[in-house]
Amino acid sequence: MKKLPIWMVTTLLLLGVLMTWAGWYDRHEVGLLPFVLGVLFILFGLASAPRVFADD
C-alpha cells in the first residue's frame, strides 16, 4: 500500500470535526445523521493516519 498525502487525512479529519459539530448543534432540526457521519469520518481519518508516515 502506498503512502497517503497528509492533506487528504487532514481534510478528512477536518470535515469529520465540522460535520460532528454542526450535526450536534442542529440535531433537533436535521436529526443525528450528520453527527454520525462526522464520527465515521473521524474514525476513518484516524485509521488511515498511520499510512501518512509509512516507509514505502
Q: How many domains is the chain partitioned into structurally?
A: 1
Quote the pLDDT of residue 1: 60
The amino acid sitting at 1 is: M
- 55 in a domain, yes or no? no
Quote the pLDDT of residue 3: 86
Structural domain for 40, as ranges: 6-50
Quote the pLDDT of residue 49: 86
* Helices of type H across 4-55: 6-25, 27-30, 33-48
- 18 in a domain, yes or no? yes
Quote the pLDDT of residue 17: 95
Residue 4 burial class via C-beta count within 10 angstroms: exposed 0-12, middle 13-18, buried 19 and up: middle
- 27 in a domain, yes or no? yes
CA distances to 11, 14, 47 from 3, rounded to whole Å, are 16, 20, 13
- 56 in a domain, yes or no? no
Structure confidence by residue, pLDDT tens digits, 3-40: 888 999 999 999 999 999 999 998 899 889 999 999 99
- 42 in a domain, yes or no? yes
